[in-house]
Structure 1
């Protein structure tokens, strides 16, 4: 819930592609949270993956300052801090839930995990909705339809797919970081949809260069995971050969 609240608040301060790009700090956030959650080999922060994460962060900052012509105002900094806090809350909650299920020996699929998180947070959501009703009144029909679309596409479909992906690689720190990094692709989709449907301007100059760095980070993460997979396969083959001889 904290993730959605902070991200929604920040979304009112700038174009969609800018908020989407800033949220990519979750790439580094997930890895930095690992030592706080795990007490085994997964607590180690992969250096190569962290390096790529820093590259993505550099792209995010470049987009932020490019959008603000080199300087962020107070509203921009508040929005950036909200997005960063949201970026830490997301992997912390997901990884924490996976670790809890692992320690208790309970197996839940992605759909069950999303349903459990949704059900447990309902009281807080209802309280927030009641407060918003008192402050701004009931939502319009267009807002209801928009909220329904976001809930189905992002809250149900995308979240279930993401939870499924992270659950499949929960024991591989690099692959888990890469799965979280794939969210960086949303920058491109947010940019295209914002320009097409919301009348937002195309990113230019520093902002465009920052977007390119974010995309480059995705490609590098994919390469690192593939490289680690090939190395693990070679080590397994070598071990099997030694045992056979």
Structure 2
């Protein structure tokens, strides 16, 4: 249960991704700046944490040893998935983007056969290919129904083009994030902890982040002071606190794909936190009708999934 609680805690801080990103987009800052600063500004904080723990050297050795794997899976679970989320926030309300992100729960389950888990057979530990947890898939599909209901309600006030632009990038990122995260855990094994993995993902995301800064500066000019402050808040909440806590939760559950799926399902909690944040900071209206029903379904599904054995 500790891994599930930590996962839920991370969802609260991850909700800043959708609220602050939407706030920055409303203020006119481009998605290139938003996506890049989330990682660039998080880097010094993560570095200091790992530095004072005396773990920077071992992290750099691990990255050097499996450089290509770190660049691939680290970027997928880092700036790669986040670029798509940032782009989608320009076309849909923050709470709707957050709800669509819950597809990652289904994605994580469907990806299970791509991974191996240790099992004890005849007093020997062997690796066995994972299976899709049917019970969790049913409950997670229940959550997905809630997401679809919310999408249907929002479709009444949005064009087909806006819906697709807001939904498709999120759907793609929902698969990239668990894929990259789980593959990177395989690469790291038990030698790299959640603090190091958070810093490592941020480090390998720097080349793309710098390219985005150049593009954002060329197309939209420099950002304002208030934009910088918002980006700093985003980096601290989402890039540092949320990432470390979520990585810590998934690390605790990595040898049990069913528990790992339960931890990933706790991210449905960010829908509730995003709704609250949108009302407080974006002066948004409280979801009504089908949207409210969809949120209730998501919450019920998340609770059931968390307690399912």
Checking the alignment, whether the CA contact within 8 Å between 1:65 and 1:72 is kept in structure 2 is no
SS at match of 1:176: helix
SS at match of 1:153: helix
Of 196, 205, 211, the residue aligned with 1:121 is 205
SS at match of 1:80: helix
**Distance across 2 between alignment mates of 1:213 and 1:77:** 23
Unaligned 5+ segments in structure 2 are: 1-78, 118-126
User: Residue 160 of structure 1 corresponds to which residue in structure 2?
Assistant: 244
Checking the alignment, whether the CA contact within 8 Å between 2:265 and 2:306 is kept in structure 1 is no
Cα root mean square deviation, aligned = 1.5
Of 128, 150, 162, the residue aligned with 1:63 is 150
Checking the alignment, whether the CA contact within 8 Å between 1:67 and 1:203 is kept in structure 2 is no
Q: How many residues align structurally? A: 222
Of 128, 134, 138, the residue aligned with 1:47 is 134
User: Residue 232 of structure 1 corresponds to which residue in structure 2?
Assistant: none
**2:304 maps to 1:217:** no
Which structure's CA Rg is the greater one?
1
**Distance across 1 between alignment mates of 2:129 and 2:216:** 41
**Distance across 2 between alignment mates of 1:120 and 1:17:** 29
**Distance across 2 between alignment mates of 1:186 and 1:176:** 17
Q: Which digits, 9 at most, give the CA deviation of each residue in 1:188-237, with x for residues without a partner?
A: 1100110111011211111111111110111111220xxx3xxxxxxxxx
Instruction: Give the drift of 1:154.
Output: 0.7
User: Residue 32 of structure 1 corresponds to which residue in structure 2?
Assistant: 110
Query: CA 1:8 to 1:141, structure 2 compared with 1: closer, same or farther past 3 Å?
Result: same
Unaligned 5+ segments in structure 1 are: 229-245
Judging by fraction of residues, say which structure has more helix.
1
Bigger RCO of structures 1 and 2 (CA < 8 A, at least 6 apart): 2
User: Residue 205 of structure 1 corresponds to which residue in structure 2?
Assistant: 289
**Distance across 1 between alignment mates of 2:129 and 2:196:** 24
Of 178, 186, 191, the residue aligned with 1:99 is 186
User: Residue 13 of structure 1 corresponds to which residue in structure 2?
Assistant: 91
SS at match of 2:223: coil
Normalising by structure 2, what TM-score?
A: 0.69
User: Residue 81 of structure 2 corresponds to which residue in structure 1?
Assistant: 3
Checking the alignment, whether the CA contact within 8 Å between 2:114 and 2:129 is kept in structure 1 is no
SS at match of 1:203: coil
Instruction: Give the drift of 1:173.
Output: 1.2
**Distance across 1 between alignment mates of 2:158 and 2:212:** 33
**Distance across 2 between alignment mates of 1:60 and 1:189:** 15
Normalising by structure 1, what TM-score?
A: 0.87
**Distance across 2 between alignment mates of 1:156 and 1:164:** 12
Instruction: Give the drift of 1:184.
Output: 0.5
Instruction: Give the drift of 1:70.
Output: 8.2
SS at match of 1:199: coil
Instruction: Give the drift of 1:71.
Output: 7.2
Checking the alignment, whether the CA contact within 8 Å between 2:250 and 2:260 is kept in structure 1 is yes
